[in-house]
């Protein structure tokens, strides 16, 4: 099974970097605090469920945090950035696939003075692991063998 979480993160980072260049976009925690303005992107809740045979439905919940520049108009700037994220993260390139974001949500965290945006990306993955082959490979049903 491919590690697609990183491909989704790379797609989100590329979309943000393309729109907001030269604002830095991080996917690792910065020890000295985030420079302002900047973005932090992370996968906060990947889920996977068996769909059919060796095919899985995966949902990646991605969080984008925007650290606006200090000064007057900080909330206004954050609102403008969050509004743009709705359109630029609707469709991203993840590896060789184009995927659509759903269940988007944005808010301003007044306590930390940052913008928080979340989006789900849903896609299918296939298992390449031979040990995960189904135990039943044929079925005899009233004299007819199904394979």
- Tell me the CATH number at 75: 3.30.2000.10
Domain limits for position 136? 4-146
Percent of the chain whose pLDDT exceeds 90: 64
pTM of the predicted structure, to 2 decimals: 0.82
Digit-coded pLDDT (tens) for 2-60: 558 999 999 999 999 999 999 999 998 776 777 889 999 999 989 999 988 888 999 99
Asked if residues 44 and 8 have their Cβ atoms less than 8 Å apart, the reply is: no
Q: Quote the pLDDT of residue 1.
A: 41
> Looking at the 3D structure of the chain, how many domains does it have?
1
Which residues 6+ apart lie within 8 Å of 93 measured at CB? 11, 14, 15
Please tell me the total number of residues recorded for the chain in this structure: 147
Q: Quote the pLDDT of residue 133.
A: 57
């Amino acid at each position: 099974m491919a590690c697609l979480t990183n491909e989704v993160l790379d797609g989100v980072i590329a979309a943000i970097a393309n729109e907001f260049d030269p604002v830095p976009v991080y996917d690792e925690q910065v020890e000295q605090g985030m420079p302002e303005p900047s973005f932090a992107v992370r996968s906060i809740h990947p889920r996977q469920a068996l769909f059919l045979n060796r095919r899985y439905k995966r949902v990646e919940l991605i969080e984008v945090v925007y650290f606006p520049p200090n000064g007057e108009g900080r909330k206004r700037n954050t609102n403008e950035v969050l509004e743009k994220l709705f359109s630029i993260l609707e469709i991203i390139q993840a590896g060789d696939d184009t995927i659509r974001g759903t269940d988007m949500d944005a808010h301003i965290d007044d306590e930390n003075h940052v913008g928080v945006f979340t989006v789900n990306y849903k896609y299918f993955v296939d298992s390449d692991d031979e040990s995960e082959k189904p135990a039943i490979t044929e079925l005899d049903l009233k004299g007819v063998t199904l394979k």
